[in-house]
Chain A
Amino acid sequence: MTSAVPAAPEPAVAGPPEGSTTLEGKSIGDRVYRTLTTAFAVAIPVLLVFIAFEVIAAAWPALQKFGLSFITSSAWDANAGQFGAAPMIYGTVVSSLLALILSAPLALGVAIWLSEFAPRWLRQPVSFLVDLLAAIPSVVYGLWGIFVLLPILRNNIMPFLATTLGLGNTPFFSGPAYGNSMLGAAMILAIMILPYISAVSREVLMAVPRSQREAALAMGATKWEMIRDAVVPYARSGILGGVILGLGRALGETMAVTMLIGNRHEISASLFAPGYTLASVIANEFAEATNELHTSALMACGAVLLVVTLVVNAIARWLVWRVAREPKS
């Protein structure tokens, strides 16, 4: 795969843009600039197609052998040569969506406070600190999760949910509370994607025209009503874009999730139970996978992750499109 990467841009650079009639008579600099930017723009899709092609080619033996059962089976036994990725697909989607549910309201709250309420002198430092969350390496999040978050989860949050709130009888919060769990992974993901959602939302909210706010206030709206009815609806498609960015980040996150999710090939309704994700299984097993079917099954996990990411993003994009079309209330 690495050997393919540097080769990819070459054909793109070589091909000049066609039909550049709009630039007829313009300076040579414009033409060079246009060619260059077009080449860069073309390089990215070409790269993506190349990656997808390589991954699917490497995954082919496993996909051919297991067929549809690769995504429906839960058996994963390298010794017996049995591979099924259903628990990982489930874990990837559930942990990411759960992270989004936990993170999005919080991130939106942070963004609204920063854009609407924060005093000028506090806005910069707080924005900076929130953005800084994105700069922490994921292995550090993982270690922090093992030594700080999991004990809190095990000793406080999980007993609170199961016993104090009495949710322990529902299938979603049942079973022993060990800490390593779907819930633990979702919580660390929620923290990790928060800066992406809040940074995008903050910028979009700050870009809402002043006239929009003034009109709401002139109608007698309180500040809260102004934000709820005039500012947020105006910015909603941008906010959704931020949420999608966060979701993409959550789907592919590997290290921190691997360290907290418990790495168990099982689908369980309980959020207290350990799970697995597609990215985690690749990270865990690739280095020591010697037989070809095993390697191929891991590449197939990569291919499935690509498809899952595309499908989830397509749904999200459709949502954005629908929201953007609706009249602003």
Chain B
Amino acid sequence: MRFHAIALATLTAFTAACSKGGDTAKGDSTLSNSSGVDLNGAGATFPYPIYSKWFSEYATATGVKINYQSKGSGAGIKQLQEGIVDFGASDSPMTDDEISKAKHGKVLHFPTVLGAVVVTYNLPGVTTPLRLNGQVIADIFKGTIKKWNDARIAALNPSVKLPATDILVVHRADGSGTTFIFTDYLNSASTTWATTAGGPGKGKEVQWPVGLGGQGNEGVSGQVKQTPGSIGYTELAYAKQNQLPVAHIQNKAGEFVEPTIASITAAAEGIVATLGPDPDYRISIANGPGAGAYPISSMTWLLVYQNSPDAAKAKKLVDFMRWMYATGEQSAASLDYAPLPAALVQRLTERLGAINLNATP
């Protein structure tokens, strides 16, 4: 009895830890090839609700089935690099180094929708939305601003009576596109966040100087909801659906902007106006210019091979993306994603022509 118990204990402890990882590198593709699926994709979890809506609507309209596994941006990039999936999806653009390791050559980035990260807080008695700017948020999350009634917060909120309590910072513990968007913004909107200034820098997970790590959006918001004096960040859709208080953030034009679908699209408009003739679209719209732009905004991308080894699949994928830009974009707002600005959609539709439809194995 007891020896079995010991062996079992060893195994459960260990397999429990392993079961989460390890399977990202191999396998999976063979599962679905035989079951009538036309295209396989994997990647970001953040746009998964809208992607799955698109894929199901597209299947109804055309009969083309697309299987998407929301395993995280990292897994999406890895599987695309190894040629296991037909397309990837990511909340942060691939680096040149990552692209150079891709099996079938050049990877193109196609923005799909826009997302935003909101700063949420728990301050009993404060009913007007808090106003913050990039430098103040950075210093709060670095732990240099420690009290709610700090002069620099008060200066932005003259009409709010701030308590003299400690600030509890809550951040994501799991690697996440949400963290990437948030730190990408702090990186460009403050002078102290970048690694060159001794700060944590940007990434899907960074070394946080202070605070607690919550698991997922629900972990962060659960902690913030329950702890007076806390501050955290979640993605917009989650905050809206749970009616969390959100701060208005000062943009480059000096306005304090509430995160809304319109203000996020405005953030992309400002950047698109500055684009050159043939950009690769690995662009950050964080802290972008433009009136009414919400600064903690970001694109999310589909990752596609320029020279796919399978011509039939490449054509199917391009057909879907054409449909996505023409029809899909319109339903983005219903799930709290901001659609791309019309000018950008037009340019991206034209860019679909850059994908090679002749097999080059």
Residues 249-278 of A, flagged 1 when their CB comes within 8 A of B and 0 if not, give 101111000110011110000000010001
Residues in A whose Cβ lies below 8 Å from that of B75: 287-288
Could you tell me the distance between the alpha carbons of A77 and B211 in the complex, rounded to whole angstroms? 15
Contact, CB under 8 Å: B227 / A288: no
Chain A residues touching B, range: 35 or more
Residues in B whose Cβ lies below 8 Å from that of A249: 9, 12-13
Contact, CB under 8 Å: A309 / B10: yes
Shortest Cβ distance from B37 into chain A, in angstroms? 19
Contact, CB under 8 Å: B9 / A284: no
Residues 11-27 of B, flagged 1 when their CB comes within 8 A of A and 0 if not, give 11111111011111011
Could you tell me the distance between the alpha carbons of A299 and B202 in the complex, rounded to whole angstroms? 23
Residues in A whose Cβ lies below 8 Å from that of B311: none
Residues in B whose Cβ lies below 8 Å from that of A200: 1, 5
Binds B, one of A26-34, A119-127, A166-174, A235-243: A235-243
Shortest Cβ distance from B132 into chain A, in angstroms? 22
Q: How many A-B residue pairs have CB under 8 A?
A: 199
Residues in B whose Cβ lies below 8 Å from that of A289: 74, 175
Q: Which chain B residues (202-221) contact chain A, with CB distance < 8 Å?
A: 202-207, 211-215, 218-219
Chain A's closest residue to B13 (CB) is A252
Q: Does A133 contact B (CB under 8 A)?
A: no
Q: Which chain A residues (148-176) contact chain B, with CB distance < 8 Å?
A: 150-151, 154, 176
Contact, CB under 8 Å: A55 / B174: no
Contact, CB under 8 Å: A309 / B1: no
Contact, CB under 8 Å: B13 / A254: no
Contact, CB under 8 Å: B21 / A282: yes
Q: Does A213 contact B (CB under 8 A)?
A: no
Contact, CB under 8 Å: A79 / B13: no
Shortest Cβ distance from B7 into chain A, in angstroms? 8
Residues in B whose Cβ lies below 8 Å from that of A101: none
Could you tell me the distance between the alpha carbons of A320 and B177 in the complex, rounded to whole angstroms? 48
Q: Which of B18, B77, B177 has the most CB of A within 10 A?
A: B18
Q: Which chain A residues (307-329) contact chain B, with CB distance < 8 Å?
A: 309-310, 313, 316-317, 320
Shortest Cβ distance from B218 into chain A, in angstroms? 8
Q: Does A178 contact B (CB under 8 A)?
A: yes
Q: Does B168 contact A (CB under 8 A)?
A: yes
Contact, CB under 8 Å: A77 / B207: yes
Could you tell me the distance between the alpha carbons of A54 and B23 in the complex, rounded to whole angstroms? 12
Residues in A whose Cβ lies below 8 Å from that of B271: none
Q: Which chain A residues (1-50) contact chain B, with CB distance < 8 Å?
A: 1-3, 44, 48
Chain B's closest residue to A249 (CB) is B12
Contact, CB under 8 Å: A241 / B74: no
Residues in A whose Cβ lies below 8 Å from that of B207: 75-80, 265
Residues in B whose Cβ lies below 8 Å from that of A151: 226
Contact, CB under 8 Å: B10 / A286: no
Chain A's closest residue to B95 (CB) is A290
User: In the complex, which of the residues A55, A78, A253 contacts B18, with contact meaning CB atoms closer than 8 Å?
Assistant: A55
Residues in B whose Cβ lies below 8 Å from that of A283: 20, 174
Q: Does B222 contact A (CB under 8 A)?
A: yes
Q: Does B73 contact A (CB under 8 A)?
A: yes
Shortest Cβ distance from A131 into chain B, in angstroms? 16
Shortest Cβ distance from B145 into chain A, in angstroms? 17
Q: Does A179 contact B (CB under 8 A)?
A: yes
Contact, CB under 8 Å: A244 / B223: no
Q: Given known contacts A309-B10, A309-B14, is B21 in contact with A244 (CB within 8 Å)?
A: no
Residues in B whose Cβ lies below 8 Å from that of A102: none
Shortest Cβ distance from A92 into chain B, in angstroms? 9
Chain B's closest residue to A1 (CB) is B22
Q: Does B82 contact A (CB under 8 A)?
A: no
Q: Given known contacts A238-B2, A241-B5, A263-B213, is B16 in contact with A178 (CB within 8 Å)?
A: no
Contact, CB under 8 Å: A79 / B201: yes
Contact, CB under 8 Å: B17 / A79: no
User: In the complex, which of the residues B2, B166, B227 contacts A240, with contact meaning CB atoms closer than 8 Å?
Assistant: B2
Chain A's closest residue to B179 (CB) is A288
Q: Does A302 contact B (CB under 8 A)?
A: yes
Contact, CB under 8 Å: A244 / B13: no
Contact, CB under 8 Å: B215 / A259: yes
User: In the complex, which of the residues A288, A299, A317 contacts B175, with contact meaning CB atoms closer than 8 Å?
Assistant: A288
Shortest Cβ distance from B26 into chain A, in angstroms? 5
Could you tell me the distance between the alpha carbons of A264 and B218 in the complex, rounded to whole angstroms? 18
Residues in B whose Cβ lies below 8 Å from that of A263: 173, 212-215
User: In the complex, which of the residues B1, B21, B176 contacts A286, with contact meaning CB atoms closer than 8 Å?
Assistant: B21
User: In the complex, which of the residues B18, B98, B200, B227 contacts A178, with contact meaning CB atoms closer than 8 Å?
Assistant: B227
Q: Does A248 contact B (CB under 8 A)?
A: yes
Could you tell me the distance between the alpha carbons of A283 and B202 in the complex, rounded to whole angstroms? 21
Contact, CB under 8 Å: A317 / B212: no
User: In the complex, which of the residues B24, B201, B206, B219 contacts A259, with contact meaning CB atoms closer than 8 Å?
Assistant: B219
Q: Does A71 contact B (CB under 8 A)?
A: no
Contact, CB under 8 Å: A180 / B212: yes
User: In the complex, which of the residues A154, A204, A242, A264 contacts B213, with contact meaning CB atoms closer than 8 Å?
Assistant: A264
Q: Does B347 contact A (CB under 8 A)?
A: no
Q: Does A306 contact B (CB under 8 A)?
A: yes
Q: Which chain A residues (171-219) contact chain B, with CB distance < 8 Å?
A: 176, 178-180, 200, 204
Q: Does B8 contact A (CB under 8 A)?
A: yes
Residues in B whose Cβ lies below 8 Å from that of A180: 212, 214, 223
Q: Given known contacts A238-B2, A305-B17, A317-B6, is B173 in contact with A290 (CB within 8 Å)?
A: no
List 21 interface pairs A-B (beta carbons < 8 Å), by A numbering: A75-B207, A79-B201, A79-B207, A80-B195, A146-B223, A151-B226, A180-B212, A238-B1, A241-B6, A248-B9, A248-B13, A252-B17, A254-B20, A264-B211, A283-B20, A285-B205, A286-B175, A287-B175, A299-B22, A306-B14, A313-B10
Ordered nearest first, which 7 A-B pairs have the shortest CB separation? A248-B9, A288-B175, A241-B2, A263-B213, A252-B13, A287-B72, A263-B173
16 additional A-B pairs beyond A200-B5, A288-B72, beta carbons within 8 Å, are A2-B26, A48-B14, A78-B204, A154-B226, A176-B166, A204-B1, A240-B2, A241-B1, A241-B2, A241-B6, A245-B9, A259-B215, A284-B205, A288-B73, A306-B14, A317-B6
Interface residues of B (CB under 8 A from A): 1-3, 5-18, 20-24, 26-27, 71-75, 77-78, 98, 166, 168, 173-177, 195, 200-207, 211-215, 218-219, 222-223, 226-227
